Structures are given as structure tokens and as C-alpha cells.
Amino acid sequence: MANPANSANPAEWERIDHRKERMSELSFGEKLLIARRQLDLYQYEMAERLGVHANSLTKYERGEGKPHAAVMRIFEMLCEQEGIRFEEYETARRDKGEKMKIVLAEKVSPATLAVFAAEPGWEVLTHDQLPEGLPAALADADALVVRSAVQADDALMAFAHKLRVIGRAGVGVDNIDAEAATRRGIVVMNTPGANAVSVAELTIALMLALARKLPAANATMHAGKWEKKSLQGMELRGKTLGILGLGRIGLEVAKRAKGFGLEIIGSDPFVSAAVARENGIKLVTLDELIAGSDYLTMHVGLTPQTTGVINAKSIAAMKKGVRIINCARGELIDDAALVAALKSGQVAGAALDVFTVEPLKDSPYAELENVILTPHIAGSTGEAQEAVGIQIARQVRDYLKLGVVQNAVNLPSLSHEEYVVLAPYIDLAGRLGEFLAQAGKGGIEAIDLVYGGTLADAKIDLVRNAAIAGLLAGSENVNRINAAAVAGERGIRIHEEKQQEIPHGGAATTLTIKLHTATGTSHVTGTVINGEQPRLIEFDSIAVETPLEGNLLVCRNLDVLGVIGRIGTILGEHGVNIANFALGRERAGVKPAQALAFVQVDAPVSDKVLEALRKIEALTDAKLVTLPEAGF
């Protein structure tokens, strides 16, 4: 076996060797993972049983932080009540366990290496211990760990007949062919959120730099000038910080901002009001966030809904003198609109760490003194790089030892026969989720999923996760594997129900998603016809059948004469071609009844068209829902 200590401090490896003698006892975090797996619990469900926040449970499972003695006791009582035993895992450790081969294809820190080296009987090869090359080393390897340089493509995987997992120390997986990995039954994992503290700290630093004009102060001093009068700044205390996106990074920013006496508001349709409250954040709409912020920082992923969210229209709605910080995605900002606002004084200053095209060249920002520019360094700290390495090592270790999948980005293995049966319903679930996210009410607090007919007997994990991923499609780093875990972290409760008999006409198999928000509930039911065509068959208790693809105008109206004609007339006047028209109305109740019109059009309609439709007297709402073309 190759010696993994060649590239590490010998003293560190001596300590590791001593620790091996004490490895028969599982850590609290490992026991949590085992218990959750045996009880089939989400993180938030286990957190509720232990009386802790879901974020605390995440830290415990990662080996971070020490739980209170009362939490340990509650966990012990839970394990006793449920009959959970850990002896077989501890015995496996004492017996040296199953041997594994880990290939670290790129340079990692000694602490990352130590996670694997502490496992008895595991062979660990580092990037400088591959004399015959990476393909030869992978021939009998169980795990491959990469950063961003190694291309883990299908050709490389063809050499790795035993490979079970590829770990990416970082977020982006552009260098890994996840589809090929799925075909080969290899789990691909990444480490989202490991750099959250580093990004949050830079965000705060940029806010302070804007408030106190630090770049100008530094430049004038280096130029031999003493210009105190022109460098008068302002305090952060008492100002309003708006945070767009309340994922891990957004919440870390909020924690640090509270210490400066800032009032904190946040907007994120995928975070519950309870999570926002617990973090001292007032949850508001996007429009309220835009209008109410003195400082605005963005921490969202890039989606059709977030692309260009900072544009001429949104900037015009902001307070005069607002300051904008972007450490997320360059494409969130319409650069021309921001440059114009910086020149006019509508925006007093901006601090940008990310850009639409990188590296930044010939940018109009470079000419502006009220802009701070940094070269995408938010996550570039020694601590962050160490954290992603340790986190991926722990995830890979836990998967190989315990079978626990964390932060996977590809589909788990299904037999070909199972996948053929489930694929149309996985697709349906994602479409229903996306539809409800766009047509329903925002601010998710809970999600109910009801599987009807043959789905009640199927392996529904991917169906469930596809539905949640669709609902959270505007959130960062959400996929069909981690969707349920992300929902749990954000305080969104998931309830599932199986019904053998279904009340939806001739449909043999149905899926219903019910969304609970602070402003009410909304639900949608769908099915698949002819084995491959996703159909919506009910929306908010109104039966209607429409294809779940393309551009859908969803109109709510009172069931009175003339509404349908007016919709058609307005669309015709604006040159919009109608591909399909579906109608539904309440079957009983007060008159006039509520009705729905689903108008499938060839291309997305403009805001001008939507505004014209909303002026129809009996029309109560009109929304555009955009879904992928059918096919899976």
C-alpha cells in the first residue's frame, strides 16, 4: 500500500496513527447519520425530535460543534426507543472494516488527507503518487476526489471499474460528466456552502469599504495626500440591509450584519418565515426589498427569474443613494443600467466581485471612482479551501462506510426497468413543481405530496425530489438529489401520502403537490398520458386539462360572459398566436363561479400584454408560466 504521508507533516501522521487505536467508537455525527438513515428521517425531522435547529444538526453531522449534554441524552433515549444499534458499525471498525482505495487526483491539505488516513485499512493515493498515471490508479479505486483541473469524463471513468463515488472539492462540477457517472452508477458529490463564511465576510468588508470610502483613502495616502474632508463616510448603524437570497451565504451575512446595528430585510421565496425570524430577518417581497434597502447584497443562483434582476426598472425603484454589493453572479446585474445609475448618483456606490465575463477586461466600471472591483475572490481564503477539502473527504468517507449520500448532484442508481417506468413521472413532478412555483403563491412554508395509483407502490424518492427541485428552481444549488435536504435546511416541511385509489377520473396514476405559504395554499394535480405526455388535470380544485410544456398564460376570472373573447382579442391585437386553449370552472358554489383559462402560446408574452389582460374587468389575475418543451 502506498504511504499517504509522503506529502504531509510526519508529526501529523504520527498523531493520526495514535488516533486509529481509538477509532472503534463512532462520533456523534456518524451516529446521527446512521440513525437518520435507519429511521428514514429528513434533517428537520430529526432536529425536531432532538429539539434543535436543522442547521445545528447539519453541523453535528459534519463533525462541527459540540452538542449540549441534553441533546446527547435525548438522542440516546430516541435510539433506545427505536431499537437503533451501532455495534455492527463499531465492530466493523475494530475488525478493520472493508478496505477502500481513495485516489486524490489533485493537491489537498493534510487535514483533508487525514480524514481518509484515519480509516484502518484504507489505501490513499495522492496526486504525486501516480507513477503510471491516473487511469491506471483508478482501475481498482473506490473513490476519486478532484478539484477543478482534472477532467472526470466518460473516457476516464471507463478505466474505473470499481469506482463508486467522485467527490468535487468545491461547488462547480463542469469538469465532471455527471450524466456518464449516472449511467455507470457512480455518485457525484460537491461541497456547496463550505465557503459561506468567507463569502459573507467579504460582503461585510465591501459594505464597510463603500461606507467609509476605504479605496479612495488608501489611494490618496499612497499618493502622498492627506484629504480627510473629502473622505467623510457614514455609519452602518441604523441603515437597512437588504439580502436577496437567504441560503447559507445570505444567512451568514445576516448573522454578521446584526453586530453592526443594521436593520435586516430579506427576500427569498424558498425560505420559510420561521427561518427568517430565527435569524433576525424581516421577510419581504422582492419589490419591498428593492425599495427599502440602503445596502443591497445578492446571494442567489442564476436562473431565468434572477438574470438581470438589477436593471433600469428595479434601480429606479430603489432609494436614491443605495449601495449595491454582488458576490454571487455577474449576470444578476444589467451592467449598462448600473453604470448609468452610478454616473447619475441614483446608486451611490457598488462593490462587485463577480462579472458576466471573467476575467474582466475593458469594463466601463474601471472608469468609475464609486465602484470597488475585486477579481472573484469571495471564496478564496485558506480556511475556505481547507473547509471544502475536509467536507468532501467526510462526505466520501460516510458514503463508502455508511451508504449516506450528501450533496450529490446526479441521479442515484435505478435498474433500467425501474427508470423506464418512473422517468415520465419524475419529469411530471419537476414540471408540476415549476408550474406551481410560477403560478402559485410565494413564500413556501410546507409542501404536501400525494402519490396516487401505481405511484403509491413505486420508489418515489426521485419523484419527490424532482417535485421539490421544481418548486425551488429559483434557489441556488438545488437538484433532484439534494432538494429534500435543501428544503429541510430552509425550514420547509415535507409531508407525503400514498393513495391506492384516486378520485381523478380515468387517470390511473396521479401526483398532487400542495403548497402552503404565509398567504394561503395552492395545489396542482397532474398525470401522464400515452406513457410520455405530462398533463395538468387540476389546479386549486378546478378541473382542467392542459399540456405542461412551453409558454402558458394562466388566467383566473369570474365565470361571466365575454371574458374568453376578450382574452383572445387582446392576444390577437398584440400579435400573439394561440396554440392551445383549455378552460375549467368550479362545479358548485356561489355565482358567479371562479374559472380558469390556460392559454398556450407560441412565444413568451411581454409585461405589456399581461397588463392589458389584467385590465379585463372580470379577470382577477394573469401570469405567464414558462416550462421546458416535453421530453425526458
CA gap 176, 408 in Å, rounded: 12
Mean predicted confidence (pLDDT) in 387-409: 86
Asked whether the CA dihedral 343, 348, 350, 351 is positive or negative, the reply is: positive
What's the confidence (pLDDT) of residue 91? 54
Residue 629's pLDDT band (boundaries 50, 70, 90)?
confident
Residue 4's pLDDT band (boundaries 50, 70, 90)?
very low
What's the confidence (pLDDT) of residue 109? 84
Burial profile 197-209: b = 16 or more Cβ within 10 angstroms, e = fewer: bbbbbbbbbbbeb
Residue 549: closest CA among 623, 583, 600: 600
Share the mean pLDDT of the chain: 86
Residues 303-341: tens digit of each pLDDT? 778 899 999 999 999 999 999 999 999 999 999 999 999
Identity of the residue numbered 190: N
What's the confidence (pLDDT) of residue 2? 39
The DSSP string of 178-247 is: HHHHHHTT-EEE--TTTTHHHHHHHHHHHHHHHHHTHHHHHHHHHTT---SGGG----STT-EEEEE--S
Q: Which of 108-112, 421-425, 440-444 has the lowest mean pLDDT?
A: 440-444
CA gap 327, 300 in Å, rounded: 10
Most confident of 27-31, 136-140, 411-415: 136-140
What's the confidence (pLDDT) of residue 22? 41
CA gap 190, 44 in Å, rounded: 21
CA gap 251, 244 in Å, rounded: 10
CA gap 306, 333 in Å, rounded: 9
Report helix, strand or coil for 434. helix
Mean predicted confidence (pLDDT) in 30-40: 81
Residue 415's pLDDT band (boundaries 50, 70, 90)?
low
Mean predicted confidence (pLDDT) in 433-444: 84
Non-local (6+) Cβ contacts of 74 within 8 A are 49, 50, 51
Q: Is the pLDDT of residue 418 over 80?
A: no
What's the confidence (pLDDT) of residue 587? 75
Residues 342-357: tens digit of each pLDDT? 999 999 999 999 999 9
Residues 499-512: tens digit of each pLDDT? 877 655 556 789 99
What's the confidence (pLDDT) of residue 151? 93
Q: Is the pLDDT of residue 562 over 70?
A: yes
Other C-beta atoms within 10 Å of 132: how many?
8
What percent of the chain is modeled with pLDDT above 90?
50
Q: Which of 6-15, 190-199, 212-221, 613-622 has the lowest mean pLDDT?
A: 6-15
Q: Which of the following is catalytic: 329, 431, 464, 480? A: 329
Residue 601's pLDDT band (boundaries 50, 70, 90)?
very high
Q: Is the pLDDT of residue 443 over 70?
A: yes
Mean predicted confidence (pLDDT) in 456-478: 83
What's the confidence (pLDDT) of residue 231? 94
What's the confidence (pLDDT) of residue 89? 63
Residues 477-500: tens digit of each pLDDT? 677 777 887 888 788 889 998 887
Between 486 and 583, the more confident residue is 583
In contact, 381 and 198? CB cutoff 8 Å: yes
Count Cα atoms within 13 angstroms, Cβ side, for 516. 12
What's the confidence (pLDDT) of residue 55? 72
Residue 82's pLDDT band (boundaries 50, 70, 90)?
confident
Q: Which of the following is catalytic: 80, 98, 179, 358? A: 358
Q: Which of the following is catalytic: 256, 376, 504, 585? A: 376
Q: Is there a catalytic annotation at residue 222?
A: no
Residue 6's pLDDT band (boundaries 50, 70, 90)?
very low
CA gap 201, 327 in Å, rounded: 11
Between 291 and 441, the more confident residue is 291
Mean predicted confidence (pLDDT) in 15-27: 50
CA dihedral 426, 432, 434, 438 (to 10 degrees): 180
Instruction: Write down the H helix ranges in 236-369.
Output: 248-258, 273-278, 286-292, 312-316, 335-344
Residues 178-219: tens digit of each pLDDT? 888 877 878 999 988 788 999 999 999 999 999 999 999 999
In contact, 355 and 331? CB cutoff 8 Å: no
Residues 514-561: tens digit of each pLDDT? 999 888 899 999 999 887 889 999 999 899 999 999 999 999 988 888
Domains of the chain: 4-26+86-193+384-402 (3.40.50.720), 196-373 (3.40.50.720), 414-540 (3.30.1330.90), 549-632 (3.30.70.260)
What's the confidence (pLDDT) of residue 173? 84
Q: Is there a catalytic annotation at residue 358?
A: yes
Q: Is the pLDDT of residue 19 over 50?
A: no
Residues 220-240: tens digit of each pLDDT? 999 999 999 899 999 999 999
What's the confidence (pLDDT) of residue 11? 47
Residue 632's pLDDT band (boundaries 50, 70, 90)?
low
Between 310 and 401, the more confident residue is 310
Q: Which of 21-35, 81-95, 104-118 has the lowest mean pLDDT?
A: 81-95
Mean predicted confidence (pLDDT) in 39-64: 78
Please tell me the pTM assigned to this model: 0.67
Residues 547-557: tens digit of each pLDDT? 999 999 999 98
Mean predicted confidence (pLDDT) in 461-470: 89
Between 286 and 418, the more confident residue is 286
What's the confidence (pLDDT) of residue 37? 73
What's the confidence (pLDDT) of residue 264? 98
